[in-house]
Structure 1
Amino acid sequence: MENTTDGTWDTMAVELNDNILETLRELKFTHMTPVQAACIPLFMRNKDVAAEAVTGSGKTLAFVIPILEVLLRREEKLKKMQVGALVVTPTRELAVQINEVIGRFLQKFPQFTQMLMIGGNNPMEDVEKFKERGAHIVVATPGRLEDMFRRKGDGVDLAGSVKSLDVLVLDEADRLLDMGFENSLNAILSFLPKQRRTGLFSATQTQELEKLVRAGLRNPVRIVVKEKGTADSATVRTPARLCNYYTVCRAEDKFNQLVAFLRQHKHQKQLVFFSTCACVEYFGRALEILVKKVRVHCIHGKILFLIFAFVHRCGRTARIGNHGNALVFLLPMEESYVNFLSINQKCPLRKMPAVNDVVDVLPKVKALAQADRAVFEKGMKAFVSYVQAYAKHECSLIFRVKDLDFSSVARGFALLRLPKMPELRGKSFPDFQPVALDTDTIRYKDKQREKLRQKTLAELKLRQQDDDKTRTKKAVGNHAWSKQKAKKNRRKKNAAKRKRAQCSDDDDQDIEELMKDTRLLKKLKKGQICEGDFERQITGGANH
């Protein structure tokens, strides 16, 4: 079926709860999309569903509404530690978005609790939160969910809690498999009851996905939502009304190109994705200053997005039948990513020439950093996080951190100096010129923050002085001890020398007397003296 509107919510074939309809109106969702019109009635008639639809076709409401309706219609109400619905999704970002949508509906259903289980925080926090509050609806990423199932020793029995499960949803199932979660999914499925409703949503159908369908769903109804004008949905993974472009530029030109592009399209709504939340904080602050008369909102949910998935990011536009455009900035060494997207992700891109009349805004960003330590520190953190995210890119054959021109990237980040980090250790960067400024002297614009920094610096200085005094005192003590030891050693040496000299004199005297006795003995043998004379002289010599 084509991706056009398919009637209003009030005309749906099944009756929906009034509070659900009211929330839909508050969210300004007046019309259903085809995937919603097809999936919701089937779900509510206890059918398993395997739906294939492009990103941005409204899949989230297609399973959130059935989850709420199924739980509301339970004969036996859920207890505190019973899980009624489980949504598994590949990324933290998507999990947060789904959890927020569910939260909007649950404002009118306080009898239900929800919980987000994703990586990035201490798993024991999730354990304690679940033990304290339980969760009727759980939204999770596979790794953290599998880990929670195995934490019975920590006092949480998630395997026991899901025995009451009514609905399982595997969202972006193709991505779950692409990202290597097959083993985790099989482990998770082994804990779940067989009597449940299961919904599997994906942008494409593959052989690997077919195996998952057979393992996790029972005689599912298959739904394929095709884009208007496409004969085969498997050839396209993004909405037909979405035009995808790419442009190639050096790392040091990328931000200038972005600012120029946003200035030219300031009258349109723009969504800009960066690889990390630190980059969002830094460049978002710069854009507030550089793009005039435009409101800039920084949204990242304190989540570090280590994987850049263009297909799923660009699907945030051209949603629910609307038109949209997506543009990705690539470095020259990354241009082969275009072919990868076209062949492997079924997402062709058209090349967009670089923006003309680009103004170099990087000096202004540097000036911002020199005027406010907060901006300086944000830039350093953004650079570090960017390099670390690049090193963990899912397409590592194309995005290789060893090929990055760190000097060019640093210039593109308008850094005042390079940070100390393992990736830069032992390398020289003659193409990067740090500013002639002691960055320790840069002050915070926030007076309270600067006051606290100065206090900390003063304390560190006092501590350093105390350490220096201790080292000096110890050095002086060591010097005096060394001096005394040397003097003692000299006395020992002189005494030994005198002893050797005395021994030497005694030896000389003994030798002289022995020679005298020898001469007397020779005279005796020659008859020159008699024995009486010999004895007298020998005895006299001895008494002398």
Structure 2
Amino acid sequence: MDESWDNLNVQLDSNISKSIKQLGFKHMTPVQAATIPRFLQNKDVAVEAVTGSGKTLAFIIPLLQMLLKRDTPLKKNEIGGLILTPTRELAIQIDEVLNQFLSHVTQFTSCLFIGGLDVTQMIEKFKTQGCNIIIATPGRMEDLFQRKHDGFNLPASVKALEVLVLDEADRLLEMGFETSINMILSHLPKQRRTGLFSATQTDEVENLIRAGLRNPLRITVKEKKNTVNQLVPKTPALLQNYYMIVEADEKMNQLISFLRKHKKNKILVFFSTCASVDYFKKIIEQFVQNTTVFHIHGKLKQKRVKVIEKLRNADNGILVCTDLMARGIDIPDIDWVVQFDPPSSSRAFVHRCGRTARIGNKGNALVMLLPAEETYISFLKINQRTPMVEMLVDEKAANIVPKVKKFTKRDRALYESGMKAFVSFIQFYGKHECSMIFKTKELNIGKLATGYALLRLPKMPELKGKVIDNFTEEDIEPDSIMYKDKIREKKRQEEIRKIQSGEIVKKTRNFRTKAWSDQKVRKEKRKENRERRARKKKRKQEEMSQGDLDELDDDMKLFKKFRKGKVSKEDLNKEIDATLEKGEGVK
């Protein structure tokens, strides 16, 4: 049960307590109750807690309290607190929460150092208004440490640092910020308190704990069991997980049918690639009326913050996104998370689901899988201890594919967008971490192309030599498809005219014209990259114990028997339950 703030065995400053009450935080979440008192006892903490558990307050409140209790008050440009976080969206979100406290704790000022903002303006604000608490992304922070301007010297300003927070530490490392973090740590004083907050513990996070924390207190907060024999899931306790088994050529129809039924809700729809987000956003806008459709992916640098803010303030809406939105971002009242494409890993599955059912609220999540991917449900049950309930397909779902094709014939932009989405998905699928379940060779390419409403198949190496069934190309010349945008079409026609007249040469991918020596260099580089990836893969495999490998091998053999009809679903579930009970017994 969540604890009252009044029961906190540490006396908080009256202004902090006032902020907590005015912001409506009546009870502490388990991670807050476990972390805040210990962080305030001048201990470094390494906190692992499920997504949506309220980690932000677990470090903002101790940070402010420790700065208030300093013997010497911070000067205008002395930095007492530094919060590093992986994305600008999460940094802005933390900044919003912090500013709600700073409206009462007025003796401190804060700065937001992230990409997408003018560096000169950031530095000028720091110099004129001062800054005691920085919220930053590692790349921008590293950049500012190396800049020297009149009256701006960040290495000198951080000498007064009391508290460092590494939020979403596992993702900081996944996104390749290890070098930046090490550089930042080299500038910070050793006598400081450090809090590391993460949803999952990895070997990389463990290395960071050893490098950046001194004798850390480890805090792990799990969701509580409901019954004696029930497993503790890695997803939020009030989250209901569903799965739908659907053929590739029906997937788009089922998605639109689902969104039409739930258009009064707030929904996140996850896709694997930026191209898929761009394509399906256009389709959803066309076929799901009377709701607002937003989209976010890594290539939309400047618009992302505005999109998140609009969705936060909306009563309902659909956000089409990539895994950029899977971690840390808190949008209130998300009713459904829909995973149209399989997540890149089981951890990504948990993080996606964690966008709903946050901090004690209820929520729902649906993952849409192809028939060949059904064993992923059993895999999640073992690997992530995530129970799933099947949602049947809507037999009355309208077939919108012919209508999408009709629109595609009238707009070249939609035609090109669909081709890019299809190609990017095939490439993503071939690199899936769970390759024993998600096999490119088992994809029904024809049905997949039909489900993407393609007019014809693209030319790509993955399709070379394949016999494609269940797909009929449309009788239309691709060059005859015009852009709906008249300016863009005029530009295309001008380019065609110049090619036909010989004024310009049509760009082709003809590598034979390149010098043989250049080809040899590229070939050697590709070979080195392959060998490096192979060594990395081998190291990961060696890190797994033989027992884990044998157990995984047994699971996969069982899944294969089930798919071939040699084992019933009832026997499969019995074996899974037996494996889970054995695992719990070992713990």
The answer, yes or no, to whether TM exceeds 0.5 is yes
Counterpart position of 2:284: 287
1:418-456, Cα deviation, whole Å (9 max, x unpaired) = 3344544565645432322234343444xxx31x22431
**Separation (CA, whole Å) in 1 of partners of 2:359 and 2:432:** 30
- For 1:116-515, what aligned pairs fall within 5 Å after superposition? 116=114, 137-140=134-137, 165-173=161-169, 192-203=188-199, 213-229=209-225, 235-300=232-297, 302=300, 305=323, 308=344, 309-424=348-463, 429=468, 431-445=470-484, 449-450=485-486, 452-467=487-502
8 A contact 2:225–2:232 mirrored in 1: no
Q: Does structure 1 conserve the Cα–Cα contact (< 8 Å) formed by 2:244 and 2:366?
A: yes
Separation in 1, partners of 2:120, 2:458: 37
Query: Deviations along 1:483-513, whole A, 9 cap, x unmatched?
Result: xxxxxxxxxxxxxxxxxxxxxxxxxxxxxxx
Measure how far apart 1:240 and its partner are. 1.2
Could you list the per-position Cα deviations for residues 45-102 of structure 1 after superposition, in whole angstroms to 9, with x for gaps in the alignment? 543223332221111332245446656777333649x69414244xx5xx52343332
- CA separation in 2, counterparts of 1:149 and 1:392? 36
How far did 1:199 drift? 1.5
Query: How many Å separate the matches in 2 of 1:149 and 1:239?
Result: 38
Mapped to 1, the partners of 2:502 and 2:17 lie a distance apart of 67
In structure 2, distance between residues paired with 1:57 and 1:345: 17
Does the residue aligned with 1:52 lie in a helix, a strand or coil? strand
Q: CA deviation at 1:313?
A: 0.6
Give the Å deviation of 1:130.
8.1
Higher mean displacement: 311-320 or 349-358: 349-358
Closer, same or farther: CA 372–256 of 1 in aligned 2, 3 Å: same
Q: In 1, Cα distance between the equivalents of 2:291 and 2:44?
A: 46
Q: 1:115 to 1:178 in 2, by over 3 A?
A: closer
Q: How has the CA–CA distance of structure 1 residues 453 and 350 changed in structure 2, closer, same or farther, with 3 Å as cutoff? A: same
Residue in 1 that maps onto 2:95:
102
For the structure 1 residues 453 and 177, does the alpha-carbon distance in structure 2 shift closer, same or farther, using more than 3 Å as the test? Answer: closer
CA 1:436/1:466 → structure 2, altered by over 3 Å: closer, same or farther? closer
CA distance in 1, matches of 2:145, 2:437: 36
1:15 counterpart residue number: 13
In 2, the alpha carbon distance for the partners of 1:76 and 1:161 equals 11
Provide the rounded CA distance (Å) in 2 between the counterparts of 1:275 and 1:129: 35
2:114/2:140 contact within 8 Å kept: no
Between the aligned partners of 2:251 and 2:7, the Cα distance in structure 1 is 44
Check 1:162–1:416 CA distance in 2 against 1; reply closer, same or farther (3 A cut). farther
Letter in 2 for 1:21: S
C-alpha distance 212-255 of structure 1, shift in aligned 2 (>3 A)? same
How far did residue 318 of structure 1 move?
Answer: 0.9
Task: Give the CA deviation at 1:310.
Answer: 0.8
Which one of 54, 57, 61 corresponds to residue 61 of structure 1? 57
C-alpha distance in 1 between matches for 2:212 and 2:435: 31
Q: Distance in 1 between matches of 2:163 and 2:231?
A: 27
What are the Cα deviations for residues 327-376 of structure 1, in whole angstroms up to 9, with x where unaligned?
11122333333333233333333333333323222122222323333433
CA distance in 2, matches of 1:441, 1:64: 59
Q: How many residues align structurally?
A: 449
- Cα deviation for residue 192 of structure 1 reads 4.5
Tell me the equivalent position of 2:571: none
Instruction: Indicate the SS of the match to 1:244.
Output: strand
TM-superposition CA deviations, 1:372-409 (whole Å, max 9, x none): 33433332332233233334434344334454333322
Asked which structure has the greater CA Rg, the reply is: 1
- Aligned residue identity for 2:248: A
Equivalent position SS for 1:395:
coil
Equivalent in 60, 75, 78 of residue 77 of structure 1:
75
- Which residue type is aligned with residue 56 of structure 1? G
Contact 2:44 2:194 survives alignment (8 Å): yes
- Equivalent in the alignment of 1:112: 110
Return closer, same or farther for 1:469/1:78 CA change in 2, 3 Å cut-off: closer
2:222/2:232 contact within 8 Å kept: no
AA matched with 2:134: I
Native 8 Å contact 1:176 1:182 kept in 2: yes
**1:35 paired to 2:31:** yes
Runs of 5+ in structure 2 lacking a partner?
302-321, 325-342, 506-587
Letter in 2 for 1:459: E
Query: What's the offset of the Cα at 1:317?
Result: 1.0
CA change 1:465–1:255 in 2 (3 A) is: closer
Instruction: Identify which range, 284-293 or 215-224, moves more after superposition.
Output: 215-224
- Asked whether the 8 Å contact 1:8–1:32 carries over to 2, the reply is no
Report if aligned partners of 2:48, 2:200 keep a CA contact under 8 Å in 1: yes
Three-state SS of the structure 1 residue aligned to 2:267 is: coil
Distance 1:419-1:44 versus aligned 2 partners, 3 A rule: farther
Q: Distance in 2 between matches of 1:69 and 1:389?
A: 46
Q: 1:268 to 1:126 in 2, by over 3 A?
A: closer
Contact 1:282–1:382 (CA<8 Å) still a contact in 2? Answer: yes
Q: Which runs of 5+ in 1 are unaligned?
A: 471-544
Indicate conservation of the 8 Å contact 1:127/1:148, yes or no: no
SS at match of 1:457: helix
Q: Distance in 2 between matches of 1:291 and 1:133?
A: 44
Counterpart for residue 528 of structure 1 = none
**1:201 Cα shift?**
2.4
Q: Quick one: distance in 2 between partners of 1:282 and 1:252?
A: 16
Q: Is the 8 A contact 2:40 2:62 kept in 1?
A: yes
CA contact (8 A) 2:67 2:80 kept: no
- Corresponding position of 1:52: 48
Partner of 2:516: none
State the match for 1:492 in structure 2.
Answer: none
Q: For residue 521 of structure 1, what is the aligned residue in structure 2? A: none
2:61, 2:222 → 1: CA distance?
22
| Aligned counterparts of 2:422 and 2:413: Cα–Cα separation in 1 | 14
**Aligned residues with identical type, % of pairs:** 49
